[in-house]
């Protein structure tokens, strides 16, 4: 359920129109194309992981890929929803609500990073527009390095 705002459209919905509401509801929160591609590449390199899992059981936030033994949490952030400095464009319709929502998402991302780091996790964040091969290589190298450090 969307969070309340000071502005409510005439129809009482958080969306500016029924069509916009359907469009926004259709946007995937997991299993996006960049996520699936990166997962496939990481898996092809022999690594296994949890998908859309909570790194910390008491923290109601999920990472896109979770490597529990090495404590690596991977997030593939959407440019719009997480405020990419290169691609985020404020919406023209109901800009106050959506810009505030993206700002809250960004603040939550920073808080998640901090909490996971305090618990000994390494957080890797990538933008959806980044090269999937390069992202996968970074993930594979990082997990393997942490695995070596754990085994001595």
**pLDDT digits 0-9 by tens, 16-45:** 667 656 665 556 567 899 999 999 999 999
Q: For 118-128, how does the pLDDT look when each residue is reduced to its tens digit (9 = 90+)? A: 999 999 999 99
**Number of compact structural domains in the chain:** 1
Residue 22 belongs to a domain: no
* Residue reference for tokens 């450090």: 149
Residue 21: name the closest of 103, 94, 87 by CA. 94
Task: Give this prediction's pTM.
Answer: 0.82
- In the chain, at which residue ranges do the beta strands (DSSP E only) sit? 50-53, 63-67, 72-77, 122-127
Q: Is 147 left (phi over 0), alpha (psi -120 to 50) or beta?
A: alpha
pLDDT tens, 86-137? 999 888 888 888 899 999 999 999 999 999 999 999 999 999 999 999 999 9
Print the domain residue range for 119.
29-151
Q: Find the CATH number of the domain harbouring 34.
A: 3.40.960.10
């Amino acid at each position: 359920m969307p969070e309340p705002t000071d502005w409510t459209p005439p129809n009482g919905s958080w969306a500016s129109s029924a069509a916009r509401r359907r469009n926004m509801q259709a946007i995937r929160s997991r299993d996006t194309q960049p996520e699936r591609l990166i997962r496939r590449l990481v898996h092809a390199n022999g690594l296994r992981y949890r998908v859309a899992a909570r790194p910390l059981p008491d923290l109601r936030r999920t990472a896109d890929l979770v490597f529990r033994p090495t404590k690596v949490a991977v997030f593939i952030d959407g440019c719009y929803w997480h405020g990419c400095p290169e691609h985020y464009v404020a919406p023209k319709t109901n800009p106050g609500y959506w810009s505030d929502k993206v700002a809250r998402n960004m603040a939550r991302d920073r808080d998640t990073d901090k909490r996971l780091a305090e618990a000994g996790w390494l957080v890797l964040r990538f933008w959806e527009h980044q090269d999937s091969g390069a992202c996968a290589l970074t993930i594979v190298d990082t997990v393997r390095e942490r695995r070596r450090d754990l085994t001595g």
